[in-house]
Structure 1
């Protein structure tokens, strides 16, 4: 049994989904681990992770609009606004999504469906540089 650990920095351009599938595929292949379990951890409380449709960009736009309606930025609605009016909504959105993914690895690649991609979901308006930790264990 072997393990590998890696930090992946993802630049964002404000709210929305940023695909990072290719970077993960490259790193998994570089480890030489053929079969195992990949854990991806987001080190932030105002961004999250998702596995989602990678072919039609309107899916990502609909997801973004849904979360805007579900957890709106509304001045005076939230007590916590230390970093602006999008601060507390970003925390709530990350609570409703995931900050960790577990993905099987087979034949040296993450096992994803035909139309699945790995995305960082940025919940803040301003661009950020987000850190993901990738941990792979296997043979």
Structure 2
């Protein structure tokens, strides 16, 4: 079994989705692995990863609006050391994912036709987010 790792630095924009599918696809190609698994791990507690609709941007808007209603920023949170958006961002990350696993078949990610991989920034500021991409297989 072969292992291949790369760490990406992904600049985010405030409260947005950053499509990273092509970057991950490129790393899988570089790995040379034909059959295996691609594991993604985001090294942060106030941003997350989602595999979601990649054709209609309204889906992402609706997701963001729903999560904003579910976890409001004007809640009475105890933790506010980094600002009013900090604790809600932690809760939103806990409700979503900081890791994803995607099978690899014939050298390609086995994503559905309408699936894209996104980094979801939950904070109101820009950050450089670190994503560990680990590809393993044959």
Would you say same fold, with TM above 0.5? yes
Offset, 1:109: 1.1
Q: Residue in 1 aligned with 2:30?
A: 30
- Deviations along 1:17-71, one digit per CA (max 9) or x if unpaired, are 1110000001100111111011000100000111000000010111110111000
**Equivalences, count:** 138
Provide the C-alpha distance between the structure 2 equivalents of 1:47 and 1:102, rounded to a whole number of angstroms.
Answer: 17
Length-normalised TM-score, structure 2: 0.98
User: Residue 137 of structure 1 aligns to a residue in which SS?
Assistant: strand
Structure 2: gaps (5+ residues): none
Q: Residue in 1 aligned with 2:14?
A: 14
Matched, 1:87 2:86: yes
Offset, 1:113: 0.3
Post-superposition, which runs of at least 4 consecutive aligned residues in structure 1 deviate over 2 A? none
Q: Residue in 1 aligned with 2:126?
A: 127
Provide the C-alpha distance between the structure 1 equivalents of 2:42 and 2:70, rounded to a whole number of angstroms.
Answer: 22
Provide the C-alpha distance between the structure 1 equivalents of 2:59 and 2:128, rounded to a whole number of angstroms.
Answer: 24
* Pairing of 1:46-61 with structure 2 (within 5 A): 46-61=46-61
Q: Residue in 1 aligned with 2:137?
A: 138
Provide the C-alpha distance between the structure 2 equivalents of 1:88 and 1:138, rounded to a whole number of angstroms.
Answer: 38
